[in-house]
Amino acid sequence: MTTSIIGFPRIGEHRELKFATEHYWKKRATKEELLKTAQQLKAQRWDKQQKAGIDLIPVGDFSFFDTTLDAAYLFNVIPARYKQLGLSSLDEYFALARGYQSETESVKALPMKKWFNTNYHYIVPEFDDETDVKLTGSKLFDEINEAKKHGIQNPKAVIVGPYTLLKLSIFKGDKQPQDFASSLVNAYQDLLAKLNEQDVKWLQLDEPALSFDQSETDLALFTKIYESLLPAKKAVKVLLQTYFGDVRDSYQTLIKLPFDGIGLDLVATTENSKLIKENGFPTDKVLFAGVVNGKNIWRNHYVTTIETLKALNVKGEIVLSSSCSLQHVPYDASLETKLPKTVQQHLAFAYQKLDELVELDAIFQGHDQKVLAINNELFSTIKHPENSQVKSRIAQLTAADYTRLPERSKREQIQKQVFNLPELPTTTIGSFPQTKDVRQNRSKLRKGEITQAEYDAFNQAKIKRIIEFQEKIGVDVLVHGEYERNDMVEYFGEKLDGFVFTQNGWVQSYGTRGVKPPIIWGDVSRNEPITVDTTVFANKLTDRLVKGMLTGPVTIFNWSFPREDITPEQSVTQIALAIRDEVLDLEAHDIKIIQIDEPALRENLPLRKSDWYRAYLDWAVPAFRLVHSGVKPETQIHTHMCYSEFGDIIQAIDNLDADVISFEASRSDLSLIDQLVAANFQTEVGPGVYDIHSPRIPSVEELEEIINHIIAKLPAAKVWINPDCGLKTRSEKEAFDAVSNMVEATKKVRSSLYETNRSL
Ligand SMILES: CN1c2c(nc(N)[nH]c2=O)NC[C@@H]1CNc1ccc(C(=O)N[C@@H](CCC(=O)N[C@@H](CCC(=O)N[C@@H](CCC(=O)O)C(=O)O)C(=O)O)C(=O)O)cc1
Ligand SMILES: N[C@@H](CCS)C(=O)O
Ligand SMILES: [Zn+2]
C-alpha cells in the first residue's frame, strides 16, 4: 500500500449529481432515481481510482450536500425543529441544508460557512442542550458495503473527526463543546465497532481544525477525545488526517497518541516538513504525505516533490497522498479541448492527479526515472505571458494611490445630501434569478446558435423588466440584475487579459452549486470596458439610482486557479489596477454608486493568526483601496461579503474604506451586529435580513422584527436593508416575493421610526 487520496470530487464529470438532486427537489425525479444516479457516480469514482492504481481508496467522501452535515446526521445532531417535520430521512437531511417550507411548516436552513480557506461551504451543525449524540445513521456503513460489492477490496472509511466536528459546530444551549465530548466519543466508538464488523482496515478521521492556532484548552479537549477513542479501534487502523495548514502546536501530541497513521499537508506549507525533520517521525506510524496539490490545477513537479520526501528522512512507511481532498479541483483536464497546448500540458485535474501519485510512487521507489525526465522537460518550457506596461504601472504606485480623500465621515455627509435617500435605504446585492432562459440564451451564444446582438437584446429585455420590478415595489438603489454573467468571477476573467478558461472545469461550491474558476495564466490587464454598457443601459431606464456591480481583486484572485510563479500580492495588484480602471470608467459614465464585491476577502486569510496581517491583510486591504481611491467624494463605494466569520477581522474590513458594506448575517443569527457595535464600525452597513440560499420566503412580520433588531443596536442612519447575498440561485417567484416583503417590512419600520421621531 503506497498511494491514497483524501477525497475525490463527487458532483459528477458533467455535474450529474447537481441535475439529479435539483430534479428531485422539484419533484421531477423520484428518490430511487436520485439514489441510482448517486450509485453510478460513486461506482465511477471508485473505478477511476482503482484503474489509476490508487491503493487505499476513500469511501464516505461522497455526499448529497456536505460531508460535515453527513457526520452530524450520522450522529443524530439534528435539532428538534427538523425532526418535528416528520420527513423521510433524505428530506430531513435536505431540510437541514436548505430549510423547509410547506403550507403549515416553515423552518430555516442551518448556517453555511466557508470550509477553511476554500470556496467550498459546509453546513454548520447545531448542538443544543437536548442534543442526544449517538450513532443513528448508516450512510458510511452502507457505502462501505456498496464499495466492497463493487470490488473495492480495501476501502478507507472517511469521516470528519470528533474534534473538528465540535470545533465547527454552533452550540445553542448552555452546554459547551466539551460537554459533548464523551457522548461523541461513545458514538465514534460505536462507529469503530461497526467498521470492525465490516472488516475495514483503515479509518481516516479528518481533523483539519488542527491547522488553526490551538490553545491549551483545545489541545486538552483533543487529547481527551482521542485518549478515550483510540483504545476502541481494535483491528481498524486510524489515520489522523489534517490539511490546509500545519500542526505546529499539536505535532508532539499527535506523535505520542496511538494513531496508526498521520496525514500532513506538505504543499500548503513547509512547516509540516520542518516539524518532521526537527522532531523525527515515529517508525510505528505511517506518514500519509500530502504531496499532490488538491487546491490548484498545475502539474506536480516531480523532482521537487521527491526532494521534499527524501529530505524528511522518515524511516517508517510513507503513503503518498493528496494535500487535501481533490474535491477542490475539477474532474478531468483531458476534457479541455479548446485550451492552447502551451497551457493544457501544464494542467492536472483530479484524474491526472491520481496518475501523478502513482508515477511519483514509482519514482520514489526508484522504478521510473524516464517519467521524471519527461516531467522535468515539461517544467523547463513553462512560460507565462508578461505585460511590461502593467509591471511599470505597479512600480510607479505611491501611498496616494491607496488613499481615498476626503475621509469617510466627510464623504458620508456629502453623499447623504446628494442622494437624499430615505432612512434605511433598500437595495439588493446585485444578481437576480439566473433562470433557465437566461442560461439557455448564453448557452446558445456559446454554441453559435444566436448572434451577439440577439444575446444582448435578450439580456436588455431582462434588465428592463427587473428595473421596472424594482421601481414598482419601491427599492431605493436599483441593480441591473447581472444577467450577462455566467458567474461573478468567471465573467470578469473572460473580459480581462491574462486569464484562460475551461469548458468543463466544474468545482462544487456548496450543495448542488458549482463554479468554473478561471485560470490565471499571464499578467492581468484590462483592455476594454467590462460592465459599462450594461450598467449605463440600466441607468438610462430609470430616474432612480442604479448601482454599478463589480467583483473585487481579492475575490477574482481567490476564486480563480492562480499562477504560482508570482506572489498572490503581485497577481492581486495587477487585477486591482484593472478593476480600478473599470470603476473610473463607470464613474465617468454617470454611475454614482459602485459596488465592488469582496466575498472572498476573509476566505484566504491565513489559518494562523500570526500570519494574518504580515502575510495577507497588509496587502489585501490596500489592494481594495487601490481599486476605489480615485473616485470623487460623491461617488458612493459599496462592498459585499458573505458566508465567512467576519468578527475577528472587523477592523480590517472597516479599513477597506468603503462607504457601505452589505454582509451575510441572517443565517448566523445576526450575531455580527454585536461585533460591529463593539468594534465601533464606521462603514455604513447592510446586514443581510434574510437567507437567499434557502427557497423559504421570509414573511413581512419576520423581516420587520429583524430590521427592528438591527436598528435597536446600530444607528438607523448608518443602516441599509438588503438580502444577505445575490438572488441568482432563486426562482423568480421566490426572489420577487422575498424582496417585495423586504421592501414592505422596511416601509413599515420606517413609518414607525418617523412616528417615534414626531412624538419625541
Ligand atoms: C456568491 N457565491 C459565489 C462563490 N464563488 C463564485 N465563483 N461565484 C459566486 O457567485 N462563492 C460563494 C458564493 C456561493 N457560491 C455559489 C457558487 C455558484 C453558484 C451558482 O449559481 N452556480 C451555477 C452555475 C453558474 C454558471 O457558471 N453558469 C453558466 C453555465 C450554466 C449551465 O449549466 N449551462 C448549461 C445550459 C443551460 C440550460 O440549458 O439550462 C450548459 O452549458 O450545459 C452560465 O450561466 O452560463 C450552478 O448552477 O451551479 C451560486 C453560488
Ligand atoms: N453581486 C454578486 C455577489 C455575490 S457574493 C451577486 O449578487 O450575486
Ligand atoms: Zn454574497
Convert the pLDDT of each residue in 55-111 to its tens digit.
Answer: 999 999 999 999 999 999 999 999 999 999 999 999 999 999 999 999 899 999 999
- Confidence at residue 213, expressed as pLDDT on a 0 to 100 scale: 98
Please indicate, yes or no, whether residues 418 and 352 belong to a single structural domain of this protein.
Answer: no
Q: Strand 100-101 to strand 106-107: parallel, antiparallel, or no bridges (unpaired)? A: antiparallel
d(CA 567, CA 139): 42
Residue-level pLDDT at 667: 53
Closest CA to 515 of 445, 428, 600: 600
Q: Does 11 reside within a domain?
A: no
Let me know whether 49 and 87 are in one domain.
yes
Does 490 lie in the same domain as 435? yes
* Residues 650 and 684 both lie in one domain: yes
* Mean pLDDT calculated for residue range 740-760: 88
Checking DSSP bridges between strand 545-551 and strand 477-478, what pairing results, if any?
parallel
pLDDT at residue 666 is higher than 90: no
Element containing residue 752 per DSSP (H, E): helix 732-759
Are 85 and 224 within one domain?
Answer: yes
485: pLDDT strictly greater than 80: yes
> How many whole angstroms separate alpha carbon 475 and alpha carbon 471?
6
Nearest CA to ligand 2 atom 6: 726
**Pick from 353, 380, 407: which residue ends a domain?**
380
Residue among 47, 39, 7 nearest 20 (CA): 39
> Same domain for 352 and 424?
no
pLDDT at residue 643, as a whole number: 78
Q: Do 102 and 189 reside in the same domain of the chain?
A: yes
Confidence label for 220 from pLDDT (cuts 50, 70 and 90): very high
pLDDT at 494: 96
Distance 503 CA to ligand 1 centre (A): 13
| CA–CA gap between residue 244 and residue 662 (Å, rounded) | 28
Here the CATH number for the domain that contains residue 443 is: 3.20.20.210
Percent of the chain residues topping a pLDDT of 90: 94
Tell me: the pLDDT tens digits for 528-572? 999 999 999 999 999 999 999 999 999 999 999 999 999 999 999
Q: What percent of the chain has pLDDT over 70?
A: 99
Query: Distance between CA 479 and CA 546 in Å, rounded?
Result: 5
Query: What pLDDT band is residue 664 in, cutting at 50, 70 and 90?
Result: confident
Residues paired with 298 in a beta bridge: 347
Residue 369 and residue 393 in one domain: no
> Is 119 close to ligand 1, i.e. is its CB under 6 Å away?
yes
Domain count, the chain: 2
Kindly state if the Cβ of 430 falls inside 6 Å of ligand 2. yes
pLDDT at position 670, please?
72
Distance CA 168, CA 608 (A): 16
Instruction: For residues 329 and 506, give the distance between their C-alpha atoms in angstroms, rounded to a whole number.
Output: 8
The CA distance from 583 to 629, in Å, is 10
Surrounding ion ligand 3 within 5 Å at CB are 599, 642, 725
DSSP annotation of 338: S
pLDDT value of position 592: 98
Is residue 526 predicted with pLDDT exceeding 60?
A: yes
In a domain, 590, yes or no: yes
Active site residues: 693
Q: Both 368 and 460 in a single domain?
A: no
CA distance 48 to 714: 54
Q: What is the ipTM of this complex?
A: 0.97
Calpha distance 91→108 (Å, rounded): 14
- Integer CA distances (angstroms), 594 to 210, 302, 530, in order: 40, 46, 14
Residue 647 has pLDDT above 90, yes or no: no
**Could you tell me the pLDDT band of residue 646, with boundaries at 50, 70 and 90?**
confident
Helix (H), strand (E), coil (C) string for 37-53: HHHHHHHHHHHHHHHHC
Kind plus residue range of the DSSP H or E element containing 291 = strand 286-292
Which residues constitute the domain of residue 366?
Answer: 16-329+339-380
Please compute the mean of the pLDDT values over residues 22-51 and round it to a whole number.
98
**Of all protein residues, whose CA lies closest to atom 11 belonging to ligand 1?**
119
Looking at residue 367, what is its pLDDT?
85
Q: Is 2 domain-assigned?
A: no
pLDDT tens digits for range 307-364? 999 999 999 999 999 999 999 999 999 999 999 999 999 999 999 999 999 999 999 9
Measured CA to CA, the distance from residue 262 to residue 250 in angstroms comes to 12
Co-location of 145 and 176 in the same domain: yes
How many angstroms is it from 488 CA to the middle of ligand 3? 10
All three cell numbers of 564: 504560482
Binding residues for L-methionine: 429-431, 482, 597
Q: What is the mean pLDDT of residues 289-307?
A: 98
Write the single-letter amino acid at 671. Answer: S
Q: Residue type at 209?
A: A
Whose atoms come closest to the Cα of 112: which ligand?
A: 1
In Å, what is the CA distance from 281 to each residue of 147, 204, 317? 32, 19, 10
Q: Which residues lie closer than 8 Å to 759 by C-beta, 6 or more apart?
A: none
Annotated binding site for L-homocysteine: 429-431, 482, 597
Helix (H) or strand (E) holding 582: helix 568-588
In this structure, the residue with its CA closest to atom 31 of ligand 1 is 439
Cell numbers standing for residue 486: 455566467
Q: Which residues contact 532 (CB under 8 A, 6 or more apart)?
A: 582, 585, 586, 589
235 class by beta-carbon count within 10 Å (0-12 exposed, 13-18 middle, 19+ buried)? exposed
Cα dihedral: 177, 178, 182, 184 (round 10): 20
User: Residue 1: inside a domain, yes or no?
Assistant: no
Q: Which atom of ligand 2 is nearest to the CA of 641?
A: 5
- Protein residue with least CA distance to atom 4, ligand 2: 726
Domain assignment present for 665:
yes
| Tens digit of each residue's pLDDT (9 = 90 or more) over 221-258 | 999 999 999 998 999 999 999 999 999 999 999 999 99
Q: Does the structure show a pLDDT above 80 at 167?
A: yes
Confirm whether 734 is domain-assigned: yes
672 belongs to a structural domain: yes
Name the helix (H) or strand (E) containing 597.
strand 593-597
DSSP state for residue 243 in the 8-state scheme: -
CA distance 240 to 272: 14
CB of 716 closer than 8 Å to CB of 424: yes
Instruction: Choose which residue among 643, 725, 739 to substitute to test ligand 2 binding: the one with the highest number of ligand atoms within 8 A of its C-beta.
Output: 725
Do 722 and 742 belong to one domain? yes
pLDDT above 70 for 672: yes
Q: Is 70 exceeded by the pLDDT of residue 758?
A: no
Nearest C-alpha neighbor of 629 from the set 392, 399, 417: 399
Average of per-residue pLDDT across 429-435: 98
Do residues 370 and 472 share a domain? no
The tens digit of pLDDT for each residue in 445-457 reads: 999 999 999 999 9
Instruction: Give the Cα separation of 553 and 572 in Å (integer).
Output: 6
Flag whether 619 is in a domain: yes
- pLDDT tens for 714-728 read 999 999 999 999 999
Residue 669's pLDDT is 64
For position 465, what pLDDT does the model report?
Answer: 98
Q: Could you tell me if the CB of 266 is within 6 A of ligand 2?
A: no
